[in-house]
Structure 1
């Protein structure tokens, strides 16, 4: 579904069929994977908030943390020193889009330090930053962007709990129920770093959003 523009009811029907269209033969097992993006936010709302009566379990594409980024670097045999890994994490935030870009640049250039310089240059390019922000999905709906900005304005880079984040969003958009949906969506988009029960805005995205591009 992420590759084609589809109607909301088509998305919901796909989930319903995944639940109900079962094999007719005994001993047959099946699994259904529906890949969506922010073009299907109505479906996200139903799945992330529990509004949909379905056995479907949402699975989000997660950013790399330092540990998984190290594992990726070891498998790809790139950026393997501690210093380069730390710089790679700071310049990509673990976002798969930027990590993939770093990998492609490394294949092209063969020089990890030059790749890191190129990444830093991209983050100083307003058009590149705008393309990154669009890709994260934060601009997919005005309520998401407004909710994000309200959290950034209220807490900056501080650690806070979920209820504080929801309250900040609710004060901005004026509806607690809608604020909880916005939070669930932003959380699925990986805009927060988590440490136990505490949340903090991911620094690279926060830096790019602050540019106001």
Structure 2
């Protein structure tokens, strides 16, 4: 399964210089948040692949203008071609804005998903906006990751954890790819393409 993941900044490659052929062979599109809803609607128009999304901390437009033809996977497990995908958007709470959660609030969101996690017998892809704590996150509160995401990886061992929120321009420490135990971690900033079945995604990512 070929997956196009994206977050935070609309890619000129797919919007300003769009060609329908660029989406050929893509089986699934995943947005990790903070993208213009019209951008996602635009992509959904030119592909038969599902376009899944979670909210970023700046996605205030989505309430009035949700991405058309796209699927919100917040607080649910979506199954595509047998792959179980869990979505948990938002960032650490640092203001009164929408889609911000304390560590405790995020833990409560996860706790409510336990029946679904048991029924589905785990997950294959964890999709979030914020990173996990201590893994490609920032030292400042707005960009600090969640410890509960580490717990999810330790307990369910998803094949992939895809997040956004941490821009590469923030510093050299932020990487496109890392691995935590058995989980491949991908920062979807702007966009990247990888194969779900690839044993070495970091070597073949586009």
Task: Please tell me the TM-score bracket, short chain as reference.
Answer: under 0.3
Compare CA radii of gyration and give the structure with the larger one.
1
Give the TM-score of the pair, scaled to structure 1. 0.26
- Greater per-residue strand proportion: 2
Report which structure shows greater RCO (CA 8 Å, sep ≥6): 2
